[in-house]
Structure 1
Amino acid sequence: MDSIYKQNKVWLNKTEGYWKEDLIRVQDNPEEIKDRFYKSLDFGTGGLRGIIGSGTNRMNIYTVKKVSYGLGQYVVSKNSSPSIAISYDSRNFSYEFAHAAAEVFASLDIKVHIFSTLNPTPLLSFAVRELKCDAGVMVTASHNPKEYNGYKVYGSDGCQLTLEASEEVLKKINAIDDIFSIQTDTFENYLKSQKIEYISSEVYEKFMDNVIGCSVSDNAPKNIKIVYTPLNGAGYIPVKDILRRRGFENVYIVPEQELPDGNFKTCPYPNPEAQEALSLAIKLADAKKADLILATDPDCDRLGIGVRHKGKIRLITGNEIGILLADYLLSERKRQGTLPNSPIIIKTIVSTDLIYDIAQDYNGEVIDVLTGFKFIGEKLGELEAKNQLERFVFAFEESYGYMAGAYVRDKDGVVASMLVAEMAEHYLNQDKTLIDRLEEIYERYGYNTSLLKSIEFKGMEGTKEMNQKIDAIRNNPPSVLGKYEVKQFKDYLQGIDNLPASNVLSFVLDQAKVLIRPSGTEPKLKIYTLASSSTPSQLRSYSQELLNAITKYFI
């Protein structure tokens, strides 16, 4: 505790402005001080993510500068003329963090390419590749609540950093003794000296051209009525733009969620998979009698949708969207004669296995990777190295992330919005909704359901408790879940199924599997149940029973 209070005192003396005031405000709260200083904010393959505030375990201008200095040193050590691209979303302090990072990089003689305004994560991934940068930074906390922000780091391939690269960057970060010793010139002076320059609109146009290249439809005027919400994030301009370019004329934007707002006043949890975040979109869809709702998260890499079916809006899960898009792209590209002989679909291990049956009908191959789109991006890199990239058709994860083109190496809410809109129009022209098409898929390949439960473990003690409970199951896995026998237990920490070691446990049962893992971005445990059957009756209750049985080990 002495070191915690020592750090607290140093920060009180050396921070300025908002960050000093924020720390003064909690001086009468020992537990809060402990949580802010008991560790440094974790830097991993996804970069940083944490609550905004003063302290070593918070997202603030000083932790951003420290991480940027370590990342900058790493990039300089690997390249003779290094460059980095930067983008940011609508969150509080995203602009300030992005500009602070740019100043640090410029101080290390790294050429900085930064967007002049907020832009989506997929556009940052594209810019890194297009501008041939050595790294990229996206300031975002994705769909977390307003209290959070983050700092995602990308390699020269536009994919999030590999484990090996992250460890090297972490060593550079940890070697920085004094977080307050990092000195830079001003952003404006670096602009004048051209160490920092704004990314041109040409990059945006090339990105949009690549998005359109993934279309399997024409750009003729379309009759479908669409409600779109960017959830006060970075998706407003590019998603509205791509829909306009593809001929969608009846698009209504949720006015309260149209403009960037890091406080997310109408959606405190700006997650496009959450019904409460889409309540205003549903209200507008009912007023306009819209057929489809599209919703992107603040950095526009995820997409949630709602579909009008039998007069009411029904939200569709991430797995269901993945199933529909894979089926649509495979069938349409086959019909148009553009499908590879052996197409590849990539998914994460916690996403639906129904895709195996669909791909089989097209002589396709399904590749499973660990949770996180960085592993999908890495797999694309492997295909590229083997000159097999043309086989790639689609990638997805159950948490509402989708990719349909290799021009980016992360999930892309812009291309997903375009494809879902075109797919919905395609089936409406056949007097079908996406729900009707989903039912046809289930009738052909079998019914599937997936459930997800997140359990929060707060603070230092919470994280410790979560890991202890995971280890307890790892060391003594149950042979039954409820009344159902576990056929196989898998511990992915052992590096099984040709995958890197990861803290994931899996239980295989008759026509079902249950997986548990700690979240990579939040202090939460995630539990997934995936079940299948030739008939829908009892399927959901089966999944719920399995979920309840495994949950008992954690509460």
Structure 2
Amino acid sequence: MKIRKEYERWLANAVEDTDVVAELKAMDYAEVEDAFYRDLAFGTGGLRGVIGAGTNRMNIYTVSKASQGLADYLKKHFEEPSVTIGYDSRIKSDVFAKVAAGVFAANGVRVSIWPVLMPVPTVSFATRYLHTSAGVMVTASHNPGKYNGYKVYGADGCQITTEAAAEILAEIKKLDIFADIKTSDFEADMANGSIRYIPDEVYTAFVEKVKSQSVLFGENVNKNVAIVYSPLNGTGLKPVTRTLQEMGYTNITVIKEQEQPDGHFPTCPYPNPEIKEAMALGMEYARKCNADLLLATDPDCDRVGIAVKNKAGEYELLTGNQTGMLLLDYICSQRIKHGKMPADPVMIKTIVTMDMGEQIAAHYGLRTVNVLTGFKFIGEQIGKLEQLGKADSYVFGFEESYGYLTGSYVRDKDGVDGAYMICEMFSYYATQGISLLDRLDELYKTYGYCLNTLHSYEFDGSAGFARMQSIMQAFRGGIKEFGGKKVVRLLDYVQGLDGLPKSDVLKFLLEDNCFLVVRPSGTEPKLKIYISVSAENKEMAEEVEDEIAKTAEKWIC
């Protein structure tokens, strides 16, 4: 009854967006239930959901309500509140960004907005550079094209903390989505100065910071690398190619079908460089161009996927773990060689990221900080170092989902930085006749072979949400082994653990230095299982991983 009443209220009041009006009128019973059974969840990652009509969807009304709640929060915490806004290439991203700007301006919150679509890290950077009270990025990152989202950053340029998210959510919950939202006209606000475009000098400052991450320290390398690059119809084209070209990497072929912004992602419905299918067109281009290196960034340009040639001349995709370990090893070895390693150096990674990263860090004298899944927690740790006056101690941070950051100039993963540093690393080794796969094999010989995999299971709608909760409870039921590997210890983060925030995450430590992590995704209706296996070689690791995965699936299917 409650769902039906809310639906009818939307029919009467949600009349500004013709797409929403048409969708509301066409809904059947099941569609009404899925669109209205809950409010779109707001947390440390902000909002993310399917674009459409309803309280459980991304639309101008849910975006306005979130913006009003954020504006009320900012007015309580800042005398002169301000916000930086950016948006990506997704459907309605520009619309949502302008709607949010109008709400902020109507509430007396000064707005600085990027005049064109830009990558996620530029919002973190501009928030810090312009000293605004908060930042908002309209994006759904690497999700399929039907999604959009609303990420919120604090004044430090990091995604909001659990405490801040709870306060903002409390403000949002006070509001009626139609009666309590202040709005104003974007163009009128531009004219009166309450909204202004971010000047080009900020973009240039961002690019210069990325360029300054080089660890060559004067060494000469061959930069005539044949690079094939895809922005996957997102925001990466201009910043990535500008950075590479200004640093001497000019032999770049951009994938034509994926060059221009397009929120429908016509050649890769799931525009995620973690997914083989998203890289397929790039692999074709690489073969045609006889490229040395294939790079792809996701639509909001905070993740990077790569492929390189193996000894057989075939292109091989590297995982986020493999690329992250290579970057960590390269950066550390260069800093040690040139006497540039800071005092008390720190590497930060997530608990689902390959543990070999910690071994590499220890080899170079770095202290490792492990955090929950999500780069916001890495950004939070960089902020803590900054508060102690030790921001320079931060050397590298990465997560298995293809996110990397080599400096403290932003507080989120940066695909522009990742793409540039991967090119530099590739050139450095190529100049010595070493491939990235050769170097990876050397790391495995030094630290032992390790295989990490990710398995995702989709559970749509309200029934799927309940099913995921039930599965998580089943995994808490005293499981003794996975694939013949005994459970040595179970780490349950639901009440907080090792000083980390509460999170619905389980990590099973298995014998023989293996582990399994299970958690619901924070951005999609999916349950994710991460498996890490240490073994003598790849073949043995794959056999063990397969057995562990089969046991895990029995608790899901």
1-structure distance, mates of 2:79, 2:91:
35
2-structure distance, mates of 1:402, 1:375:
13
How do residues 233-248 of structure 1 correspond to structure 2 at under 5 angstroms? Answer: 233-248=234-249
Report the CA distance between 1:533 and its aligned residue: 2.7
How do residues 172-211 of structure 1 correspond to structure 2 at under 5 angstroms? Answer: 172-179=171-178, 181-211=180-210
- 1:383 corresponds in structure 2 to 385
Residue type at the aligned position of 1:239 = V
1:503 and 1:178, CA in 2 relative to 1: closer, same or farther beyond 3 A? closer
SS of the aligned residue for 1:248 comes to coil
1-structure distance, mates of 2:34, 2:151:
23
Conserved? CA contact 1:62–1:180, under 8 Å: no
Which of the residues 525, 543, 546 maps onto 1:544? Answer: 546
Report the CA distance between 1:429 and its aligned residue: 1.1
SS of the aligned residue for 1:222 comes to coil
TM-score, L = length of structure 1: 0.97
Q: Which moved more, 1:533-542 or 1:107-116?
A: 533-542
Conserved? CA contact 1:220–1:247, under 8 Å: no
- 1:126 corresponds in structure 2 to 125
CA deviation string 1:219-265 (max 9, x = no partner):
87711110000000000100011110110111000000000000100
How do residues 145-184 of structure 1 correspond to structure 2 at under 5 angstroms? Answer: 145-179=144-178, 181-184=180-183
Residue type at the aligned position of 1:484 = K
- 1:401 corresponds in structure 2 to 403
Corresponding residue pairs, total: 551
Residue type at the aligned position of 2:382 = L
Residue type at the aligned position of 2:504 = N
Q: Is 2:34 the counterpart of 1:35?
A: yes
- 1:514 corresponds in structure 2 to 516
2-structure distance, mates of 1:288, 1:518:
40
1-structure distance, mates of 2:31, 2:179:
22
1:221 and 1:103, CA in 2 relative to 1: closer, same or farther beyond 3 A? farther
How do residues 287-302 of structure 1 correspond to structure 2 at under 5 angstroms? Answer: 287-302=288-303
1-structure distance, mates of 2:498, 2:537:
30
Report the CA distance between 1:182 and its aligned residue: 2.4
- 2:272 corresponds in structure 1 to 271
Which of the residues 442, 445, 448 maps onto 1:446? Answer: 448
Residue type at the aligned position of 1:38 = Y
1:361 and 1:517, CA in 2 relative to 1: closer, same or farther beyond 3 A? same
Report the CA distance between 1:395 and its aligned residue: 0.0
1-structure distance, mates of 2:479, 2:182:
55
Report the CA distance between 1:501 and its aligned residue: 1.9
1-structure distance, mates of 2:180, 2:74:
20
SS of the aligned residue for 1:485 comes to strand
Report the CA distance between 1:537 and its aligned residue: 4.0
1-structure distance, mates of 2:485, 2:451:
17
Which of the residues 347, 350, 369 maps onto 2:349? Answer: 347
Conserved? CA contact 2:46–2:149, under 8 Å: yes
Residue type at the aligned position of 1:521 = T
Report the CA distance between 1:532 and its aligned residue: 1.4
Conserved? CA contact 1:12–1:24, under 8 Å: yes
SS of the aligned residue for 1:435 comes to helix
1:426 and 1:178, CA in 2 relative to 1: closer, same or farther beyond 3 A? closer
SS of the aligned residue for 1:190 comes to helix
Report the CA distance between 1:24 and its aligned residue: 1.6
TM-score, L = length of structure 2: 0.97
- 2:80 corresponds in structure 1 to 81
CA deviation string 1:381-422 (max 9, x = no partner):
111112222111100000011111101000000000000011
- 1:423 corresponds in structure 2 to 425
Conserved? CA contact 2:382–2:408, under 8 Å: yes
SS of the aligned residue for 1:294 comes to strand
Conserved? CA contact 2:222–2:431, under 8 Å: no
Q: Which moved more, 1:434-443 or 1:221-230?
A: 221-230
Report the CA distance between 1:81 and its aligned residue: 0.6
Conserved? CA contact 2:175–2:181, under 8 Å: no
- 2:464 corresponds in structure 1 to 462
2-structure distance, mates of 1:392, 1:424:
23
- 1:282 corresponds in structure 2 to 283
2-structure distance, mates of 1:369, 1:521:
18
Structure 2 alignment gaps of length 5 or more: none
Conserved? CA contact 1:346–1:394, under 8 Å: yes
How do residues 55-134 of structure 1 correspond to structure 2 at under 5 angstroms? Answer: 55-134=54-133
Report the CA distance between 1:477 and its aligned residue: 2.0
CA deviation string 1:161-197 (max 9, x = no partner):
1011111101111101243552422101001110000
SS of the aligned residue for 1:144 comes to coil
Residue type at the aligned position of 1:427 = Y
CA deviation string 1:358-378 (max 9, x = no partner):
112211111100111111111
Conserved? CA contact 2:520–2:526, under 8 Å: yes
Conserved? CA contact 1:126–1:207, under 8 Å: yes
2-structure distance, mates of 1:470, 1:178:
33
SS of the aligned residue for 2:251 comes to strand
- 1:5 corresponds in structure 2 to 4
How do residues 482-493 of structure 1 correspond to structure 2 at under 5 angstroms? Answer: 482-493=483-494
CA deviation string 1:15-49 (max 9, x = no partner):
232210122222xx210111001111011110000
1-structure distance, mates of 2:549, 2:221:
46
Conserved? CA contact 2:221–2:431, under 8 Å: no
SS of the aligned residue for 2:99 comes to helix
Structure 1 alignment gaps of length 5 or more: none
1-structure distance, mates of 2:443, 2:422:
16
Report the CA distance between 1:497 and its aligned residue: 2.1
How do residues 498-509 of structure 1 correspond to structure 2 at under 5 angstroms? Answer: 498-509=499-510
Q: Which moved more, 1:436-445 or 1:339-348?
A: 339-348
Conserved? CA contact 1:228–1:251, under 8 Å: yes
SS of the aligned residue for 1:487 comes to strand
2-structure distance, mates of 1:511, 1:238:
41
2-structure distance, mates of 1:492, 1:417:
33
2-structure distance, mates of 1:191, 1:110:
13
Report the CA distance between 1:10 and its aligned residue: 1.5
Q: Is 2:394 the counterpart of 1:392?
A: yes
CA deviation string 1:120-165 (max 9, x = no partner):
0000000000000100000000000010000000000100010111
2-structure distance, mates of 1:540, 1:103:
53
Report the CA distance between 1:273 and its aligned residue: 1.2
Conserved? CA contact 2:62–2:177, under 8 Å: no
Conserved? CA contact 1:516–1:527, under 8 Å: yes
Residue type at the aligned position of 2:157 = G
Q: Which moved more, 1:170-179 or 1:435-444?
A: 170-179
2-structure distance, mates of 1:473, 1:258:
43
- 1:480 corresponds in structure 2 to 481
- 2:13 corresponds in structure 1 to 14
Q: Is 2:490 the counterpart of 1:497?
A: no
Identical-residue share of aligned pairs (%):
48
